[in-house]
Amino acid sequence: MSAAATSASPGAGAAPAVRARLALGLLVLLAGCASTPRENLYTLSAVAPQNTGGAKQDSGIVVLVESANVPELVDRPQFVISAGDSRMSLLEQQRWAEPLKSQIARTVALNLGRLLGSARVSTKLQAGGEDAGYRVNLEFQRFESRPGDAVSLEVLWTVRRGSAPEVTSGRSMVREAALAPGYDALVAAHDRALATISGEIAAAIRK
């Protein structure tokens, strides 16, 4: 009887040991989930000043921002920042809330609407089928971001009036300082740089 009791003893202690290992594994899993970095999403914003010249009525200028292409290097959800003279870093936790090309086109359209005093500037034709008086296209050659330092944009842009074959073209090169460390300030610098570019395009349209 004594031998039988002794042989049953290891089995009796095995269950608590298994439960302990399972509990430890669960704690490790939960700790791993809790330490997963959070993704931060950012959007560009129109910051050009509202045109207050003349009456408050709509100027009636119709503008379609048809496209805004960016270099393939930055055409992705993640932020791509300059980490040196020839080194770039991809930031998985800092992301654009929507495709960068779409954000740029919409932001430039909003800026142009403010600068031209028109409610008819958009990235698509008006619902009434109204033809665009001006068509704008942007081809970015440079879209550089340096957190805590500055952003540098270089873009070739064209403005075509209606269906006329003549095209007004220009090149804008803008460097805008980031006014504080961090990515909020970096995005704000992009906002100001795009507002400057929009101002140059608006001047071409006014001519």
Confidence bin at 72 (pLDDT 50/70/90): very high
Give residue-wise pLDDT tens across range 166-182: 899 999 999 999 999 99
Average pLDDT of the segment spanning 76-97: 93
- What is the residue type of 142? R
How does pLDDT run across 100-152, given as a tens digit for each residue?
A: 999 999 999 999 999 999 999 999 876 555 678 999 999 999 999 999 999 99
Separation CA 169–CA 109 (nearest Å): 17
End-to-end CA distance of the chain: 108
User: CB count, 10 Å around CB of 207?
Assistant: 7
Give residue 83's pLDDT.
Answer: 85
The angle at the Cα of 121, spanning 80 to 166, to the nearest 5 degrees, equals 90
Average pLDDT score over the chain: 86
The model's pTM is 0.80
Instruction: Provide the Cα torsion 88, 93, 94, 98; round to 10°.
Output: 110
Q: What is the DSSP secondary structure assignment for residue 73, as one 8-state letter? A: G
- Res 23 pLDDT > 90: no
- Using DSSP bridges, classify how beta strands 78-82 and 63-69 pair: parallel, antiparallel or unpaired: unpaired
Residue 2: pLDDT above 50? Answer: no
Q: In the prediction, which pLDDT does 59 show?
A: 83
Tell me the domain boundaries of the chain: 1-36, 40-206
**Cβ neighbours of residue 110 closer than 8 Å, sequence gap 6 or more:** 46, 48, 121
Type of residue at 193? A
Contact 64, 136 (CB under 8 A): yes
Closest CA to 70 of 130, 13, 140: 140
The superfamily in CATH containing domain 40-206 is: ABC-type transport auxiliary lipoprotein component (3.40.50.10610)
- Residue 3: pLDDT above 80? no
The yes-or-no verdict on residue 32 having pLDDT over 60 is: no
CA 57 from centroid of its chain's CA atoms: 32
pLDDT digits (tens, 9 = 90+) for 152-162: 999 999 999 98
Output DSSP code: residue 193: H
